[in-house]
Amino acid sequence: MQRYFINTKLDEDGLFLVEGEDYKHIVRVMRMSEGDRFIAVFNTDEVFESEIVKIEETHLVGKKVSEITNQSELPVNVTIAHGLPKGDKLEYVIQKATELGMSALIPFSAERSIVKWDQKKGKKKAERWNKIAKEAAEQSHRSVIPLIEEPFTLKQLRSSFHEYDAIMMAYEEDAKSGESSNFHRFLNQLKPDSNILVIIGPEGGLSENEVKQFIEDGAVSCGLGPRILRTETAPLYILAAFSYHFELMR
């Protein structure tokens, strides 16, 4: 059943409006009619199987039918801080990391980032990133849309560290040297509902200066096994490990 995130509120009779792109998708793409059903996710984190009551020219009226209570969110809140990569790699990361349970993504201008952030085009690009996250959250039956921030500077990223319960940094030099236990220990010391920051470098990796600063600020440096992963693969590997540890093992 198709899932949509609804920005309007339920009234006392359980009715709500669907407008904009979601309305167009339901009516023109999915070709739903009055009486058809879909899943509506509200800002209150409530999820309902809903029915189309009436279709108008610019909106439709839906009505909640039954509440859906199954939990599809990771038991921990994982924010990915990703050094700006080339091309459309970040869009790929946003889509796939959303499917795997990411809570938020912070792109940042790393020392080895080839891409330079264009402030003039930034707002439009950030809107596209958040649209990708919304569509991926709907496809994967999430109850929350991850927040995709506009890029941070290194200083801004470091100043946000106090917001997290734990911080890990994927460092390829650790993998090259055979370090294999830090990530395991990091996972084992976490508790459900923890707020976690995961730092990933761009194509060239994190610089020695960045690594030093992050460790001084409390980050745990971790290797991700014996193989060197691409920048767009590393966050997906980490999120899959979080899912295995907190969902499948428990």
89-147 pLDDT, tens per residue? Answer: 999 999 999 999 999 999 999 999 988 877 777 778 889 999 999 999 999 999 999 99
Cα-based distances in Å from 184 to 126, 216, 219, 225: 34, 21, 15, 11
Q: What's the CA gap between 156 and 148, in Å, rounded?
A: 15
pLDDT in tens, 20-64: 999 999 999 999 999 999 999 998 888 999 999 999 999 999 999
Q: What's the CA gap between 108 and 115, in Å, rounded?
A: 10
pLDDT of residue 178: 61
Q: Is there a contact between 62 and 15 (Cβ–Cβ < 8 Å)?
A: yes
- Relative orientation angle of helices 89-99 and 119-139, to the nearest 10 degrees: 30
Q: Which H or E run contains 18? A: strand 15-18
Instruction: Check residue 233 and report its DSSP letter.
Output: T
Q: Is there a contact between 148 and 19 (Cβ–Cβ < 8 Å)?
A: no
Q: What is the pTM of this model?
A: 0.88
Q: What's the CA gap between 24 and 121, in Å, rounded?
A: 26
pLDDT of residue 180: 66
Is 80 exceeded by the pLDDT of residue 250? no
Nearest to 101 by CA among 144, 43, 48, 47: 144
Question: Which CATH superfamily is 3-67 part of?
Answer: Hypothetical PUA domain-like; domain 1 (2.40.240.20)
Mean pLDDT calculated for residue range 75-94: 96
Q: What's the CA gap between 27 and 37, in Å, rounded?
A: 12
pLDDT of residue 176: 62
Q: How far is CA 101 from the centre of its chain?
A: 6
Tell me the domain boundaries of the chain: 3-67, 77-248
Percent of the chain at pLDDT > 90 equals 80
Is 80 exceeded by the pLDDT of residue 70? no
Nearest to 23 by CA among 49, 66, 59, 56: 59
The CATH code belonging to domain 77-248 is 3.40.1280.10
Q: Is there a contact between 217 and 158 (Cβ–Cβ < 8 Å)?
A: yes
